[in-house]
Amino acid sequence: MVNSELKTFTLPFPNERGERKIWVYIPSRSEDEKLPVIYMTDGQNLFDEESTEYGSWNVISAVENEQNNTGLSAVIVGIDNGNVYRDSELTPKCIGEIQHRDYFNDIFSPEGEVFDSFLTDTVIPYIENKFPVKKNKESVSVCGSSSGGLQAFFEGMEHSDKFGFVGALSPAFAVYTEDDWRAYLLSKVNGNMPYIYMYCGNADPLEEILMQSTEMMYDLLPEVGYPYDMFNEVLLFENAHNEKAWREIFPDFLHTFLDKAR
């Protein structure tokens, strides 16, 4: 057996924003064993209480518990956010005009396409070259929360050939109108789409807005031809918009992904 490891390094981010820290957790595994992989936004909030001011998701404990209970595990790749540029980097420009500026006032100029390029052209090739991860889409997931959940959803729609599973937790679907979403999805949905795991709470004003837009998306997906058996929705009304809630839901997301990974 090879012992588990947590490694960090940096990769060059576009737009002259310097180096971006990447976290990679590799669970214990057999020699030469390759594992499913989850690419996640907000890497600084995933592993270590000391690296975040908002609280950790404790993803290592979640992976260890899943491994102990089912024998299944995944490599977790966390990408640090861009600080003041976070919401801009995790909001695509191509879908439509930004709504709810009172809540999303940190979106200076949508740059989700730049983050997408960084993930697919820089991060994923590096990870696949350096770490024991599977490359088939059924074993590759992308996940995030809030603007990160929006970006994860976008990644899945843009690269249905690369990602087999999307984790959209408290996703910021509300930044676009339903009509803009409908037009975008109609241009993307094909016969080979990823499974979408959507979650939202309802215990604060922002989460209430995001729950409404999550339910909108849940109704819209079949309308645009998304297969009914390729998405689900988990609603926990008592949960607010914070790391504690995402830490609570992450083990279920992880279990659902690994149950479907091949």
Q: Kindly report the CATH number assigned to the domain that includes residue 78.
A: 3.40.50.1820
CB 27 within 8 A of CB 4: yes
Q: What's the distance, Cα to Cα, between the start and end of the chain in Å? A: 21
Please say if the pLDDT value at position 55 is more than 90: no
What pLDDT was estimated at residue 50?
62
Tokens 């479907």 belong to: 260
- Give the global pTM: 0.96
How many structural domains is the chain composed of?
Answer: 1
CB 235 within 8 A of CB 119: no
CB 4 within 8 A of CB 45: no
Q: How crowded is the C-beta side of 23, counted as CA atoms within 13 Å?
A: 20
Please say if the pLDDT value at position 56 is more than 80: yes
Per the structure, the complete domain to which residue 200 belongs is given by 5-260
Q: What secondary structure does DSSP assign to 57-126, as a single string?
A: --HHHHHHHHHHHHS---EEEEE---GGGHHHHTS-SSS-----TTT-TT-SS--HHHHHHIIIIIIHHH
Lowest mean pLDDT among 99-113, 122-136, 248-262: 99-113
pLDDT, tens only, 179-232: 999 999 999 999 999 999 999 999 999 999 999 999 999 999 999 999 999 999
Average pLDDT over residues 232-249: 97
Q: At 103, is the pLDDT very low, low, confident or very high (cuts 50, 70, 90)? A: confident
Please say if the pLDDT value at position 235 is more than 80: yes
Own/partner long-range contacts of 128-131 (Cβ < 8 Å, ≥24 apart): 131/24, 131/26, 131/37, 131/75
> Who contacts 156 (Cβ-Cβ below 8 Å, separation ≥6)?
142, 163, 165, 166, 193, 194, 196
Lowest mean pLDDT among 46-55, 159-168, 216-225: 46-55
Between 243-260 and 59-70, two packed helices, what is the crossing angle to 10 degrees?
30
